[in-house]
Every structure is written in C-alpha cells, then in structure tokens.
Amino acid sequence: MIYLNNAATSYPKPPGVLAAVGGALSAPPPGPFRSNAPGEDLLTALRKALGALFHIADWERIFFAASATDALNRVLAGIDVSSVQAGPENHNSVLRPLLNGVLRVDPAGPGPALHIVNHCSNVTGAVLDLETLRPSLQPGTLLMVDAAQSAGCLPLDVDGWGIDILVFTGHKGLLGPTGTGGYYVRRGIPLRPAQFGGTGRDSRVIKYAEGEWEYEVGTPDTVGLAGLRAGVEYVLEQGVDAICARESALTEALVAGLRDIPRVRLYLPEDGPQGPVVSFNIEGLLPSDVGYILQNSHGITVRTGLHCAPLAHRLLGTDPHGTVRASLGAFNTAADVEALVGAVREIAAGL
C-alpha cells in the first residue's frame, strides 16, 4: 500500500512511537501527582519538547487534550471576546463551535477581539505567513492559530510571531497516536476551564478563586502521550526544517507530474508557499470514484470529499463533491509520487 493520506493521520509511525506506546502499557502508571512511580515526569518532558519545537519559552502553558478538535472547543468555550474573525479557510473544528454558540461574544463586553487563522490549509496546502500577520492586527487582538496541519512539518515560532493561542494535534505531523493533542495559551489570557474534576494536586480545593484555574482534569492518556513524546522527539532529531524541505520537494514533484496530465485540474494556493497537501480532480469522474479506483486498482490511499472544510470548497467551486486529496508525510518517497502520477495518468487516459 502507498499511503498518501497523512493530512488525516500520519502513517507509518516511527519505531520509537510504537515502542513508547508498548512500554507505557507495560510499565507502572507514571503520574504526575497521582503516583509514586519512579522515572521522569512524562507530561513535563513532553511540554518541554513541544516548547522547543514550537519556540514557546513558557512551556508550562502547554496543556493536553484528546485532539485539536477537543482543544479548540475547550479554548473557545472558555474565553470571552468582544468580536471574532475567522475566514472560510478554517476547518469545521473551528467553524462549528463558532456557529453553534460555543464561543461567547459580547460586543459591549471587556473581552478582546479574537482573530482565528488556519496555518496550513488541509484542502489546498496554502500556508499563511504568520510572521507578518501580527503587525497587521489591531492592538490588543488575540491571535489564535490552528496548527493541526502544520505542527511537525512546518516551522513554528510562537513567541517570535506573537501567537497568543496555538492548537495542535498529535497524530498528524507530530507522528504520535490518535487521541492526543493540545493547546498553548499565553499567560495572562483569561480562560475559564471547560471541564472540572480531579487533578491530583490539591484535593481540598473545590471552588476555585478567579484565575486560579487548572486545565487538565481526570486521568491523562499517558499511553498516548508517551507515544506523542516519542513522535515529537523524532521530529526534533530529524529537524522540522529538514522534514519540511523533503516534503516540499515531493509536493513540487507531485504538482509538476499532475499538471502535465490532460483532464486533471489542480487546486493550488493562489500565491505563497504550499504545505504537503495537493488537491485535484479528473474531469468526468467524481472524486469518490477516483479514490476508489486508486485504492482498489493501484493500492494508493488518498482522501476524497470536502475534508471537513466546506466553505473552502465553496470558494474553490468544488462543492458538493470536493476533491481528491493527496497528502505527503515524513516517510513518503519519490517512488510514491511517481506511482500516484502514473495511476492518475492511466485513469485519465481511459476516459
């Protein structure tokens, strides 16, 4: 099988991730605060590793969640703002909470304005220039970045780029297991927890004083987070710049190969860089049909449809059927790209 659906979930995982998950299942639970088991504090080590990767000096402000979707809902449910701006390029994990009343917006309230952006589109691969975004915003505006598609495969400089809130998932570019993710919230931003419960810290506290919140409750998924730590360490060892360069080269080769095939239409960023995501259609065939043929006749796994980003497809004119999406990962090769281009050429030639 040739796997080109890394924008959904990366595959395969580094051997260290598999070993870490197995080791966590066979070892005593690591805590923190709930166990006297020996060894390094897993969650602290993972926060430090993510801080190094994302350039977050205040790594203690990184909190874990079950996914980027979970993290986005937690943040949006806990923050009060006077206005919000989120473009159509955003994923449904942003759009649905906004349109279904999760976020409290009070134009007359004291809350700040909130600007939500998607760092890398999961439809076209368009990469937003975050380095120049902060100066364009009104003073006092909070900048929230959905890095689900970019964390681990594109450089991120949270402190240097003035990002106030960053949301990430663990199972894509960070190469960890599903069920992992989290968020960073700059110190000083009022954020009410979306969940309350046991933390293992001070069980005498039942009602919190304003601002003395805790954001991680319940027993953490130490098995998944152990795998995520191994994935983040792999990314740090390889270097995110090196991973980005390899995936960019493969993306360019894929775009060049598909562009030369008659009846193939590409949906590319209008300008600027492109992440490791390429969407296309073959005239005369539904995307779902193309995906079926690729999977069952060529052993190539891609993603078809609207990719949980319907407004982006509406702008592209690909609604309601969407596109075929090929997304590259850390372990794809030039041979994988050549196989996809050859298969698409064969399918298009048969029309």
Around Cβ 234, how many Cβ atoms within 10 Å?
Answer: 20
Q: Which of 71, 9, 64, 16 is nearest to 42 (CA)?
A: 64
**What pLDDT was estimated at residue 35?**
54
Residue type, 77: A
Ramachandran sector of residue 322 (left: φ over 0; alpha: ψ -120 to 50; beta: rest): left
Mind listing the pLDDT tens digit for each residue in 283-314? 999 999 999 999 999 999 999 999 999 999 99
Q: How many residues does the chain have?
A: 351
- Measured CA to CA, the distance from residue 134 to residue 137 in angstroms comes to 6
Which two three-digit tokens encode residue 138?
A: 């009104």
Q: Check the CA dihedral 227-230-234-239 and report its sign.
A: positive
Task: Calculate helix-pair angle for 92-99, 68-78, nearest 10 degrees.
Answer: 30
Mind listing the pLDDT tens digit for each residue in 105-163? 999 999 999 999 999 999 999 999 999 999 999 999 999 999 999 999 999 999 999 99
Name, in order, each residue with C-beta under 8 angstroms of 331's C-beta and a sequence gap of 6 or more: 11, 12
Q: Check the CA dihedral 2-6-12-14 and report its sign.
A: positive
Average pLDDT, the chain: 95
Mean pLDDT of 25-48: 76
DSSP letter, residue 108: T
- % of the chain surpassing 70 pLDDT: 97
Distances, alpha carbon 228 to alpha carbons 78, 169, 173, 237, in Å: 25, 10, 11, 14
Residue 115 has phi, psi (to 5 degrees) of: -115, 115
- Measured CA to CA, the distance from residue 322 to residue 308 in angstroms comes to 10
- % of the chain surpassing 90 pLDDT: 87
Q: Dmax over Cα atoms in the chain, in whole Å?
A: 71
Around Cβ 259, how many Cβ atoms within 10 Å?
Answer: 13
Q: What architecture is domain 240-349? A: Alpha-Beta Complex (3.90)
Mind listing the pLDDT tens digit for each residue in 7-22? 999 999 999 999 999 9
- Measured CA to CA, the distance from residue 219 to residue 82 in angstroms comes to 34
- Measured CA to CA, the distance from residue 193 to residue 211 in angstroms comes to 10
Which two three-digit tokens encode residue 9?
A: 């979930």
Residue 31 reports pLDDT greater than 90: no
Mean pLDDT of 41-70: 97
Given a contact cutoff of 8 angstroms between Cβ atoms, the answer to whether 287 and 323 are in contact is: yes
- Measured CA to CA, the distance from residue 165 to residue 162 in angstroms comes to 9
| ∠ Cα 324 238 62 (to 5°) | 80
Residue 36 reports pLDDT greater than 60: no
* Region(s) of the chain under CATH 3.40.640.10: 15-238
**What pLDDT was estimated at residue 40?**
62
Which two three-digit tokens encode residue 191?
A: 């954020």
The pLDDT-based confidence of 197 (bands split at 50, 70, 90) is: confident
- Measured CA to CA, the distance from residue 244 to residue 153 in angstroms comes to 5
Classify 65 as helix, strand or coil.
Answer: strand
Provide DSSP, 202-216.
-TT--SPPTT-----
* Region(s) of the chain under CATH 3.90.1150.10: 240-349
Around Cβ 26, how many Cβ atoms within 10 Å?
Answer: 7
- Measured CA to CA, the distance from residue 315 to residue 313 in angstroms comes to 5
Preceding peptide of 190 cis, ω within 30°: no
pTM above 0.85, yes or no: yes
| CATH 1.10.3720.10 is the classification of domain 15-238 | no
Residue 202 reports pLDDT greater than 80: no
Mean pLDDT of 44-52: 97
Given a contact cutoff of 8 angstroms between Cβ atoms, the answer to whether 33 and 202 are in contact is: no
